[in-house]
Amino acid sequence: MVADSITAWFGTRKVLDRVSLTMRKGEVTALIGPSGCGKSTFLRILNRMHELVPSAALAGEVRLDGSNIYAADQRITAARRSIGMIFQKPNPFPAMSIYDNVVSGLKLSGIGSTREIRDVLVEDSLRKASLWDEVKDRLDQPGGGLSGGQQQRLCIARSLAVSPRVLLMDEPCSALDPTSTRRVEETIEQLKGSTTVVIVTHNMQQANRVSDDCAFFLAAQNTPGVIVEHGATEAMFDRPRDQRTSDYVNGRFG
């Protein structure tokens, strides 16, 4: 996935300025930077959520496998199917069973399947989300009855059920306990190679643990967000080229 010269506005306020970033296939890219620098806005642009805000505007391109997802002939439903989204707060359908939560994406995407296929898909998706062993004996119980960490992993399973090529994660562990955080990070590790993952995180240790590449966003006072530096995670943390990157990853500001 490639973002090319992305500039974004909310009304007259420019929030991103000519941001370009390549997110390599099958790898994990972490977006880091202080609050208010445009990371979450950038993430939402990657699956066409930005345009749902009435005052929002956008320039530039987002290309998935070479095709601009904002092109006139591209359906928004196709983008959403190919590019899944996990939010900061888990959002399962609370009254719907665990099983039906996982397969709900199929119905929303208009994908038909037999019960046998759905059974296999539910188990596979829950295993990828590191949740199967915890819920396999209560798939008919409401998803809202799970713990917060389990609900987040259920949302991940729901996204994985439609086989997205890209999975976007907006601070998926910020409200989770350390054990649940570890489970989500294990899921991210399992997805490497098969799914492109882009994660926004304020946890520098997490960014260092889970990502292959890193992009540091920054917005000076009253200016839009830009990418100060991006590259391999190891180099970004150990040998950053920009002093601002060094200061941020070492906790001297932000």
Residue 166 · residue 195 · CB < 8 Å: yes
CA Rg value for the chain:
18
Identify the weakest region by mean pLDDT among 72-81, 147-156, 217-226: 72-81
**70-80 pLDDT, tens per residue?**
998 888 888 88
Give the closest residue to 40 by CA, choosing from 91, 87, 78. Answer: 87
> Is pLDDT at 110 greater than 70 in this prediction?
no
Query: What CATH number has the domain bearing residue 178?
Result: 3.40.50.300
Q: Amino acid identity, residue 120?
A: V
Q: Supply the DSSP string of 20-42, one letter for each residue.
A: EEE--TTSEEEEE--TTSSHHHH
The pLDDT of 27-51, averaged and rounded, is 95
Rounded Cα–Cα distance for residues 159 and 3 (Å):
22
List residues bridging with 64 in a β-sheet.
Answer: 67
Domain-embedded: residue 203: yes
What confidence score (pLDDT) does residue 75 get?
87
Domain-embedded: residue 133: no
Domain-embedded: residue 156: no
Domains in the chain, number: 1
Rounded Cα–Cα distance for residues 246 and 241 (Å):
8
Domain-embedded: residue 29: yes
Domain-embedded: residue 44: yes
Residue 202 · residue 189 · CB < 8 Å: no
Domain-embedded: residue 185: yes
Residue 129 · residue 187 · CB < 8 Å: yes
Ramachandran class of 43: left when φ > 0, alpha when ψ lies in -120 to 50, beta otherwise? alpha
Domain that holds residue 25: 2-92+165-249
Domain-embedded: residue 8: yes
Residue 97 · residue 140 · CB < 8 Å: yes
Supply the pTM of this predicted model. Answer: 0.92
What are residue 188's phi and psi, to 5 degrees? -60, -40
Domain-embedded: residue 117: no
Give the closest residue to 21 by CA, choosing from 249, 226, 233. Answer: 226
Rounded Cα–Cα distance for residues 108 and 163 (Å):
14
**176-213 pLDDT, tens per residue?**
989 889 999 999 999 999 999 999 999 999 999 999 99
Quick count: other Cβ atoms within 10 Å of Cβ 83? 23
> Is pLDDT at 135 greater than 70 in this prediction?
yes
What confidence score (pLDDT) does residue 8 get?
97
Rounded Cα–Cα distance for residues 172 and 195 (Å):
17
What confidence score (pLDDT) does residue 52 get?
86
Sequence-ordered list of residues with C-beta below 8 angstroms from that of 73, at least 6 positions apart, any chain: none
